[in-house]
Structure 1
Amino acid sequence: MYLDDIFGLKKKVAVVTGGGRGIGQTVAIGLANAGAEVVIFSRSGADGTIKQIIDNGGKAYWVKTDVTDEQSVDQAFQEVLNQSGRVDIVFNNAGICVHKSTLETSVEEFREVVDVNLNGEFIVARAAGRIMIDKGIKGSIINMASMSGSIVNIPQWQASYNASKAGVIHLTRSLAVEWATYGIRVNSLSPGYIATPMSVDTPQELKDAWTPLMPLHRMGTPEELVPAVLYLASKAASYTTGSDVLVDGAYSSF
């Protein structure tokens, strides 16, 4: 009972951006298993995620959303208010990456990465914050950062991604301080290399280069991120805000 009260998310409404696959899908299911009603924001459908949650007795639905479009995000949150009446948790997860050297990266590619990874998280967080403040909800916003916001990855070059994730970490700290007076907690999650459908397409030579640098000599799994998200989303983290939680198997520790 104590653990359910501290870590449980019953009667909470959680929005997950990019929850149709990979980390977003796994975290969405984890939030639902903890008792939250889950709403997926994504450009394409999230039928697989929704079905898994509903088949397991949970509540979930999808709202078509472009996180880089302010009007789309505002309309999506309005739909959540119409259907669920509130927003308690946001897992701000949607993101993209371009593996190119700086000299090969076009300005358009750089802007696209920053637009999704940083601007998109700002747009979603701001919309959620407005609702929480207006309704007096002491909510939790969890922004997806990366260990790449604190280190420079090798041997691949990805300056646009690294810069965007560093921005997310400092955006998180800024919002945490700004919204502390409203009881809204804002934290970021910084995973290391995680085995997802996206990473399956990663060239083997990169994986071979990463492995010797990993103290645990393996990539993480999306399931290994869920406990950190549940902590940040729940009462257990009532005094945790403005933090960047690294879940990288000590990759960035040396």
Structure 2
Amino acid sequence: MASLVNGTSKPRAGKHHFVYPNFNLQGKVYIVTGAGRGLGLCIAEAMTEAGAEVHCLDRLPEPYPDFIETQELAEKSHIGSLHYHHVDVRNSKFLNDTINKIASREHRLDGLVAAAGVQQVTEAIDYAPEDVTRMMDINYTGVFMTAQAVARRMIELNNHGSIILVASMSGLIANKGLNSVVYNSSKAAVIQLAKNLAMEWGPKGIRVNSLSPGHIITPMVQKNFEEVPGLKETWEKENMLGRLAHPEEFTGAAIFMLSEASSFMTGSSLVIDGGHTAW
């Protein structure tokens, strides 16, 4: 996992080793959606350093330069590997076909990080039905169908493992200063989805948890700051640490949730929000 130095990602030098071996993902195969950039890509990078073969699914026809740089870094310095697939999670048939091909490479699939999501800042009274449908198709249905496709292959291969659904603290609260009712509702649905999938798939050896980050400085959030003047300052004041998060600050939690270090954890919602929801 890259360390954060003055807000930039910098690889650490030295030999690869695992101080606590339960965090080792070496030899395992995972899928990460929404990993073209932002939080999904940052988590995927950390997974390659922990040893995983990571397949990134994103709706961008070509990955952002950030992805190419991360892929090159993984090839040179990490134990695992990073791969890109152009997939829109709303296309269930193509999604399933892609996941089946990935699982067939090594005849294994160890889990998923479902991080694909979109946001729309709109007054609730102005939402059109098609806007609601579009967001829920990606943020909820797409997450569900991706988890289903991954779990189906894991069960067929008798491959136990872990699934992380990336929700948000926005699924627990209303975000002061930002009107995004559908996004928040979709994340609440994802939190509930994880609990129910955990119940159904636990006996089959598949753990399912949700990860609920607080406000992170990502391209999506930067766009919010452009749309709503003063929003960054508002959110910083609402946080017990007086600042917003960087994507790198969630990678440790993701590795923990995917690895044997969390072997008795399922049906949980892990909230990492700088104390925002603890007031």
Name the TM-score, length of structure 1 as normaliser: 0.96
- State whether residues 194 and 210 of structure 2, in contact with CA within 8 Å, keep that contact through their aligned partners in structure 1: yes
Alignment match of 2:48 (pick from 32, 55, 59): 32
In structure 2, relative to structure 1, the CA distance for the partners of 1:206 and 1:182 (3 Å cut) is same
Alignment match of 2:173 (pick from 119, 127, 151): 151
Spell out, residue by residue over 1:46-65, the C-alpha distance to the aligned partner (whole angstroms, 9 max, x if none): 34242232232432211221
Distance, in Å, in 2 between the alignment partners of 1:181 and 1:3 is: 31
User: What secondary structure is seen at the aligned counterpart in 2 of 1:128?
Assistant: helix
Alignment match of 2:100 (pick from 78, 81, 97): 78
1:213 aligns with 2:234: no
TM-fit CA distance, 1:84: 3.2
Spell out, residue by residue over 1:64-103, the C-alpha distance to the aligned partner (whole angstroms, 9 max, x if none): 2111111011111122023332210200000001111111
Counterpart for residue 50 of structure 1: 71
In structure 2, relative to structure 1, the CA distance for the partners of 1:2 and 1:156 (3 Å cut) is closer
Distance, in Å, in 1 between the alignment partners of 2:73 and 2:93 is: 29
User: What secondary structure is seen at the aligned counterpart in 1 of 2:124?
Assistant: coil
Spell out, residue by residue over 1:201-221, the C-alpha distance to the aligned partner (whole angstroms, 9 max, x if none): 222411122111111110011
Backbone CA RMSD of aligned residues: 1.4
Amino acid corresponding to residue 267 of structure 2 in structure 1: G
Bigger shift: 223-232 or 108-117?
108-117
Alignment match of 1:15 (pick from 19, 31, 41): 31
Name the TM-score, length of structure 2 as normaliser: 0.87
What does 1:1-254 align with in structure 2 at a 5 Å threshold? 3-44=19-60, 45-46=62-63, 47-48=67-68, 49-57=70-78, 58-203=80-225, 204-254=229-279
TM-fit CA distance, 1:109: 1.1
Distance, in Å, in 2 between the alignment partners of 1:43 and 1:79 is: 18
TM-fit CA distance, 1:5: 2.3
Could you list the runs of 5+ residues in structure 2 that have no partner in the other structure? 1-16
Distance, in Å, in 1 between the alignment partners of 2:272 and 2:193 is: 19
Could you list the runs of 5+ residues in structure 1 that have no partner in the other structure? none
Distance, in Å, in 2 between the alignment partners of 1:98 and 1:73 is: 24
- State whether residues 191 and 246 of structure 1, in contact with CA within 8 Å, keep that contact through their aligned partners in structure 2: yes
User: What secondary structure is seen at the aligned counterpart in 1 of 2:103?
Assistant: helix
TM-fit CA distance, 1:248: 0.5
Distance, in Å, in 2 between the alignment partners of 1:240 and 1:85 is: 25
TM-fit CA distance, 1:4: 4.4
